[in-house]
Amino acid sequence: MTQFSQHYDVLVAGGGPAGICAAVAAARQGARTALAERYGILGGMFTSGYVNPILGAVAPGTMYDEVIALLGASCATTRNGREMGVDAERAKGLLLRFVRDAGVDIFLQTPVVEVVKEGSAVKGLVVGTQEGLRTLTAGALVDATGDGFAAARAGAAYEMGRAGDGRCQPATLEFTLYGVDEETGITCWGGSDPVTLPGGERYADFCREASARGELPENVTIVRIHRTGRPGERSVNATQANGCNTLTPEGVLEAEYILRGQIDRIIDFLRRRVPGYAGCQLKGSGSTLGVRETRRITGDYIITDRDVETGARQEDVACFYAVDKTSVARDARRLEDMGHLRREVDPDNRRQYQLYLTGAGRDMLPLLEEAYQAFSEKLSAGISGEDWQTLQALLKRLEENSCPEG
């Protein structure tokens, strides 16, 4: 039985990065907008889950740029591409203000527990509050729960897990360390990162062997470590719980139990075996495990890799790297001749090309990473990690000062 209801133009379930941007965008268009978040903070995995840094590239001029500037994210170019280090503690307050200033009604500690339907039409959400259940109705609903919770309750079709056995990607609980020696403490973005230890051994192989020896949990074969933007700090993405159904309370409990139990072992491994980590300490861990994959809603349109790759229009590449369009066009033609790129005319603008990596182009990526690493090491010889970060920050400031209008 719900207590009372409120009506909005747009209602967003979930206050992670997707929900924040959806709610702010709607409110800025003049829609009366509300956002319901089950936890007491906004930011989703980036605040509650300690996920850091923000990875990936987004075409310039979107709300991504605005959020990155708001959070004062520190940009580092690594073997992994651009990494934006975020201070999760500051982000909690900044994101709340960002959404509130846009005029969104925010419901914190307010889980969405059901959808309201009239026939097949979705009319609103039922949320849980300390006063009991409330109904929020709206003209349009956005499911940004990450689990497709509202869409599934509304009866939307979805897929889950991989074909064959339905298994989903593992859950991970991220944590942050401090007290890492910047001079010697390596970083690693994943199993294909070519980074080596001082003796020349590939760090990824070293982790795999440590797991086989029982120094790391059996299913933890790589300890990913990223800079956070603060000297001496590292974000660790390593714990792993496989095969737990995190859509059930029993599955969540089981996964949290496994993941929290792995943290001490991983820190112990880093302290004893990895240069630069001998004095590291646990700064904090996410208040929730991170679920990489559950329901995948079968919507009217399903975004594929190809859609994502379509973002690489020649003009965007020129803008992103601040180089002239003619150079990009010339280099793209050369790479196409070499079989590394494919160019296709943009159906929305026939004077534009879209660029796609070919299989041969993808095969070049590890080589480029190695060359990039070798060049970075040569370039930064004799410069401490802290000085290197300061230099990057200063160069970025120069870049921003040179064109303050963006």
Ligand X SMILES: Cc1cc2nc3c(=O)[nH]c(=O)nc-3n(C[C@H](O)[C@H](O)[C@H](O)COP(=O)(O)OP(=O)(O)OC[C@H]3O[C@@H](n4cnc5c(N)ncnc54)[C@H](O)[C@@H]3O)c2cc1C
Cα distance between residue 250 and residue 145, in whole Å:
19
Considering the complex, state which of residue 227 and residue 313 has its C-beta at the smaller distance from ligand X: 227
The token duo for 282 is: 């646990």
Q: How far is the CB of 19 from ligand X (least distance, A)?
A: 5
44 binds ligand X (CB under 6 A): yes
Pick out residues in 51-70 that bind ligand X (CB under 6 A). Answer: 51, 54-56
Upstream peptide bond of 275 is cis (omega within 30 degrees of 0)? no
Spell out, one character per residue from 287 to 326, where the chain touches ligand X: x when CB under 6 A holds, - when not. ---xxx----------------------------------
Pick out residues in 100-129 that bind ligand X (CB under 6 A). Answer: 111-112
Query: For residue 35, which amino acid is it?
Result: L
Strand order in the sheet with 281-285: 224-227, 234-237, 175-178, 281-285
Instruction: Point out which span in 47-55, 195-203, 355-363, 373-381 binds ligand X (CB under 6 A).
Output: 47-55
243 binds ligand X (CB under 6 A): no
The residues, ordered by sequence, that sit 6+ positions from 340 with a Cβ below 8 Å of its Cβ are 357, 358, 360, 361, 364
Q: How far is the CB of 259 from ligand X (least distance, A)?
A: 10
Q: What are the C-alpha distances in Å from 401 to residues 83, 246, 262, 354, 393?
A: 21, 46, 45, 31, 12
397 binds ligand X (CB under 6 A): no
Quick one: which of 211, 228, 237, 389 contacts ligand X (CB under 6 A)?
237
Considering the complex, state which of residue 67 and residue 270 has its C-beta at the smaller distance from ligand X: 67
Cα distance between residue 312 and residue 300, in whole Å:
24
Q: How far is the CB of 403 from ligand X (least distance, A)?
A: 26
Q: How far is the CB of 33 from ligand X (least distance, A)?
A: 15
Considering the complex, state which of residue 20 and residue 328 has its C-beta at the smaller distance from ligand X: 20
Considering the complex, state which of residue 34 and residue 341 has its C-beta at the smaller distance from ligand X: 34
Find the residue with minimal CB distance to ligand X. 16
Q: How far is the CB of 304 from ligand X (least distance, A)?
A: 17
Spell out, one character per residue from 6 to 35, where the chain touches ligand X: x when CB under 6 A holds, - when not. -------xxxxxxx----------------
CA angle at residue 87 from 197 to 22, to 5 degrees?
120
Q: How far is the CB of 343 from ligand X (least distance, A)?
A: 28
Considering the complex, state which of residue 294 and residue 389 has its C-beta at the smaller distance from ligand X: 294
Q: How far is the CB of 41 from ligand X (least distance, A)?
A: 8
Site of interaction with ligand X (CB under 6 A): 13-19, 36-39, 44-45, 51, 54-56, 111-112, 144-147, 149, 172, 174, 237, 290-292
